[in-house]
Chains A and B, each alone.
Chain A
């Protein structure tokens, strides 16, 4: 899979792999998962590699936006620890992109340099179907009220909300620092991505200056921006799921080569090797589709449908790799001492978290004129 990469991107991959080998041994990652621990110290050492800068333009302290490079970082991190991958991916694909595209000059100057340094952790909050997040603007203050069930621990939340009394299609993104009064996070115990700090988020009259509305009070999320934002989310998801799938497959492959039954490695049996053959095709296809969509986005071309296809392909591959990984590793893979079960949990979590698969499919069907 590395053969089609530029020299710069190969260097990115090598750097992430080297860091990961040194700082993320499997036993540590499994312990973080078991304890629901966010490895903040480890992440600090990752920041020294300066990869957050790939999400931000040079004038704001970045090295220029490079979605393929950032995607490779997400994919490689996710092979071992999807929590770190999701943290990085959220900052670069969602927060940095949205602020760069829609933010006012002041907002860009305030937040982008921090994102470029990795010094703040962000979380984009999309209320689900049936959840409500509303705001009113009074005396230059924006007051937020509502709930969203899927948030993660962060320093800065970018909360999507509707102005009270206005049509629900007209939404705004509002920058809300974690320390804001009235912002309540209720941790959720989830199957996967333990350590990500998944939580229900409640805004009980949270007050932020009206200048915290992304792009200013008069600039809602346009249809074009919404499409692009969802596309970037799908792209991040595609790289993340590809990484989980690749990690799960690699783990099962190692077992298939070393586990001997009937006097031979179980990988010699077609029933096992066929599973791995199919997974290898799915993972390769997902990775290539994600890179292709990232390249389109980088060139400023329409990429949303391709990103949606990549997200569906990759999440399907991750789920299959997670489930097959347990079947291939057998009784051992079913124990908590083995890592197959962690891959499966993270893959299933990702599939479930994609609650808007209907929206993703509509993106693709829409591009086909359906």
Chain B
């Protein structure tokens, strides 16, 4: 595809498609949306299939893939059930990727084998009530106590998988510097000072999102991300993850858009012939525009992934991809509903769910407006 995906990666896509078709029915996707309960059963199936190991290095029991495989996985899961790309993200993004990219050797050895087997869940604790787009404005803090333990106090919100995570990668202020005073701690949620309250969302239901509370939780220096030398380096560690995160969110958008587009085309094909030849031109042209935009979005995202995989500078491209894919997918999901008429807003059909799901993709992981700020900066503006 687009000359950017290897034969092995195409084979991996087929493997994921086969898994989705055999293990995740439309009914199960619908039930996940209705019940809004974390799908532990599907997570086990994904682990059995090896999907939790996709981006873990071979020496830690993984398949040795990278961000492109993660994209393929997110795109294919999102065609059927986008929330699963986020629940799996509690392993492959917030676990495998964070530890793989930023963890110390001890942390890799300690966590990656279990993550690869799907035995652990990680969450990414950055956002706070007053630190959304202004992410560096965090108020959660950690102070060193007399036992040389860092004690974390504060709260985080909109944390994906926050109700089920074993470890929350928690960004806390450890020095006054806006960017160089932030440290990422691997907080064990088994501690009594940890609690959460679930947030009920419009879409991506089943990927438990929560507000988290940290009340005097002690963390050993070895559990600073990257080890003791990771102190005050949380921001730069986070920045290293951004390209991969933006690409995986782009892929979620592509999956939703493709499914929305396919459903709209199917709907029109099934309509009785128009009373007058050519009278359906408006709808046909609308679908033609959707097809073109979807193709353009996919080309941008996978080209960017190729740059990223080949270690080329691509901050501009990942931000472009993130906002272009999510905004295009939003337009396609809404357009598909309009094409389908009243069926588009029938809760028994998936069209409306795709719009509910896609709307978070232009907000989470950096809003469209923040991505455009970044692109403008790379243009020297």
- Residues of chain A having any CB pair with chain B under 8 Å: 128-130, 149-150, 188-192, 260-262, 266, 269, 271-272, 319, 323, 326-327, 330-331, 334-337, 341, 344, 348-349, 351-353, 355, 357-358, 361
B344 and A323 contacting across the interface, CB-CB below 8 Å: no
List 27 interface pairs A-B (beta carbons < 8 Å), by A numbering: A128-B341, A130-B272, A150-B342, A188-B347, A190-B347, A191-B345, A191-B346, A191-B352, A261-B133, A269-B369, A271-B369, A327-B362, A330-B132, A330-B363, A331-B364, A334-B360, A334-B363, A335-B201, A336-B201, A337-B200, A344-B359, A348-B345, A352-B340, A353-B341, A358-B279, A358-B282, A361-B282
Verify B342–A355 contact, CB threshold 8 A. yes
Additional 10 contacts, C-beta under 8 A, given A330-B367, A334-B201: A129-B271, A190-B345, A323-B359, A327-B359, A331-B363, A334-B202, A335-B200, A349-B345, A352-B345, A361-B282
B93 touches A (CB below 8 Å): no
Beta-carbon contact of A319 and B334 below 8 Å = yes
B209–chain A nearest beta-carbon distance, Å: 8
* Chain A residues whose C-beta falls within 8 Å of the C-beta of B344 in the assembled complex: 348, 352
Q: A191-B352, A323-B334 are in contact. Are A331 and B132 (CB under 8 A)?
A: yes
Tell me which of B132, B202, B342, B345 contacts A261 (CB under 8 A).
B132
Inter-chain contact B363/A189, CB cutoff 8 Å: no
B236 close to A (CB within 8 Å)? no
Given contacts A348-B352, A352-B344, contact A261 B134 (CB under 8 A): yes
Q: Using a CB-CB cutoff of 8 Å, which residues 311-362 of chain B contact chain A?
A: 330, 334, 337-338, 340-348, 352, 355, 359-360, 362
* CB of B49 within 8 Å of the partner chain: no
Q: Which residues of A contact B375 (CB under 8 A)?
A: none
What range describes how many residues of B lie at the interface? Answer: 35 or more
Which residues of B approach A to under 8 Å, CB–CB?
A: 127, 130, 132-134, 137, 157-158, 199-203, 271-272, 279, 282, 330, 334, 337-338, 340-348, 352, 355, 359-360, 362-364, 367-369, 372
Known: A130-B272, A261-B134, A327-B362. A188 touches B201 (CB 8 A): no
Closest CB of chain A to B264's CB: distance in Å? Answer: 12
* Contacting pair A188 B202 (CB below 8 A): no
Q: How far is the CA of A357 from the CA of B130 in the complex (A)?
A: 43
What are the nearest 8 A-B pairs in CB distance?
Answer: A355-B341, A191-B345, A189-B347, A352-B344, A271-B369, A352-B345, A261-B134, A191-B352
**A327→B345 contact, CB < 8 A:** no
CB nearest to A150 among chain B residues: B342
Check if A348 sits within 8 Å of B337, measured CB to CB: yes
**Chain B residue, CB-CB nearest to A262:** B134
A197 to chain B, nearest CB (A): 14
Known contacts A323-B330, A335-B199, A352-B345; A330 and B133 CB within 8 A of each other:
yes
Q: How far is the CB of A321 from chain B (nearest CB, A)?
A: 13
Q: What CA separation (Å) do A351 and B343 show in the bound complex? A: 11
Q: Given A129-B272, A130-B272, A351-B338: A272 and B369 within 8 A (CB)?
A: yes
Across-interface contacts of B347 in A (CB, < 8 A): 188-191
- Specify the chain A residue showing the minimal Cβ separation from B330: A323
| Given the contacts A189-B348, A335-B200, A335-B202, A327 and B363 also touching, CB distance less than 8 Å | yes
Name B334's contact: one of A192, A331, A336, A348 (CB within 8 Å).
A348
Minimum distance in angstroms from B27 CB to a CB of chain A: 15
User: Within 8 Å CB of B127, what residues of A?
Assistant: 331
Look across to chain A and name the residue whose beta carbon is closest to the beta carbon of B339: A352
Complex interface: chain A residues within 8 A of B362 (CB): 327
Known contacts A130-B271, A330-B133, A352-B345; is-contact A341 B202 (Cβ 8 Å): yes
In whole angstroms, how far apart are the Cα atoms of A114 and B363 in the complex? 49
**Is the pair B346, A190 in contact by a Cβ cutoff of 8 Å?**
yes
B337 touches A352 (CB 8 A): yes
Contact yes or no, B342 A353, CB < 8 A? yes
Whole-angstrom distance between the Cβ of A192 and the nearest chain B Cβ: 6
In the complex, the chain A residue whose C-beta lies closest to that of B36 is A336
Q: How far, in whole Å, are A128 and B343 apart by their CA atoms in the complex?
A: 12
Contacts of B345 in A (CB 8 A): 190-192, 348-349, 352-353
Chain A residues with CB under 8 A of B334: 319, 323, 348, 351
* Most chain B C-beta atoms within 10 Å of own C-beta, residue among A262, A319, A330, A341: A330
Q: Which residues of B contact A352 (CB under 8 A)?
A: 337-338, 340-345
Residues of A within 8 A of B355 (CB): 348
Q: Which residues of A contact B341 (CB under 8 A)?
A: 128, 352-353, 355
Shortest Cβ distance from B34 into chain A, in angstroms? 10
| B271: A residues at CB distance < 8 A | 129-130
* A128 to B340 CA separation, bound complex (whole angstroms): 12
- B367 and A327 contacting across the interface, CB-CB below 8 Å: yes
CA distance A128 to B363 in the complex (A): 37
CB-based nearest B residue for A338: B202
B279 contacts A331, C-beta separation under 8 Å: no
Cα A262 to Cα B373 with chains together (Å): 13
Residues of A with C-beta under 8 A to B199? 335, 337
Report B-chain residues with C-beta under 8 Å of the C-beta of A337: 199-200
Give complex CA distance A349, B345 in Å: 6
With most chain B CB atoms within 10 A of its CB, the pick from A189, A262, A331 is A331
List of A residues within 8 angstroms of B364 by Cβ: 331
